[in-house]
Amino acid sequence: MVKDFVIENKVNARLFECNGEIKNVLIAIHGFTGSKKSSSNNMLGKTLCNEGFEVITFDLPRHGDNSKEEPIRYDECIETIKVVDKYVKETYKNKKISYIATSYGGYLLLNFLNDINYDYHKIILRVPAIFIDEVFSNVILKDSIHTLKDGNILEVDGIKIDDCYYNELLNNRLIDKYNDSRFLYVIQGKLDDTVDYLKNEIFYENKCKGNYKIYYFEESGHSFKTEKEHLQLLETVREIFEK
């Protein structure tokens, strides 16, 4: 059963309830301009709930059902993950807790994990935007990035971006601060025109101390939208949890 609810009166969440004994709890984080209604995460939730999983996804600040009146803030995004993480740990004591995070969500998750000492079961990153500041400057905003000054605000799918937010991303670059040694499972499309996956590989080699495995989808880009891609994603996630 699918249930929408609110965590601590502040985070809009969606729960895919397990049909039977709960063996794993999976927290799914969407990407920039996504929401708890993300097609890939909902596909995983609807399927895995029949395979021993309880799956929770949620709206990041300024996304989904949240107000978009104010510019997005990095710290608010991290705080939202903390609220969900705390809720899951308190609700599912003695259960295996894992994450799957997409693009911008992957960037946020790695920053969050960098400061958290907890033995998560699996950490899965899908097309992670490791160098998120470059994604904004080279792909999302392009030439308009230079107008982010003097209080100017840009909008992407209704989400407001200002120079304060962009500077927050610059001050929280994973290549500068990441020092975690958790094992990462990475799912990456080789036709990705948003994330420079070759540059990501350098990050994994230099920062992850050999604790990673990459699953390449040869015919996929940044967004996995087709039935074929969803099936490949599902089978890969299943394979990861069998390890």
Q: Is the pTM of this model over 0.95?
A: yes
CA distances from 207 to 177, 190, 200, 212, 243 (A): 9, 21, 10, 10, 23
3-state secondary structure the chain: CEEEEEECCCEEEEEECCCCCCCEEEEEECCCCCCCCCHHHHHHHHHHCCCCEEEEEECCCCCCCCCCCCCCCHHHHHHHHHHHHHHHHHHCCCCEEEEEEECHHHHHHHHHHCCCCCCCCCEEEECCCCCHHHHHHHHHCHHHHHHCCCCCEEEECCEEEEHHHHHHHHCCCHHHHCCCCCCEEEEEECCCCCCCHHHHHHHHHHHCCCCEEEEEECCCCCCCCCHHHHHHHHHHHHHHHHC
- pLDDT (tens place) for every residue of the chain, 243 residues total: 999 999 999 999 999 999 999 999 999 999 999 999 999 999 999 999 999 999 999 999 999 999 999 999 999 999 999 999 999 999 999 999 999 999 999 999 999 999 999 999 999 999 999 999 999 999 999 989 989 888 899 999 999 999 999 999 999 999 999 999 999 999 999 999 999 999 999 999 999 989 999 999 999 999 999 999 999 999 999 999 998
Q: What is the pLDDT of residue 71?
A: 96
Q: What is the pLDDT of residue 167?
A: 95
CATH superfamily of 2-130+181-242: Alpha/Beta hydrolase fold, catalytic domain (3.40.50.1820)
Q: What is the pLDDT of residue 41?
A: 97
Q: What is the pLDDT of residue 209?
A: 86
Q: Where are the domains of the chain?
A: 2-130+181-242
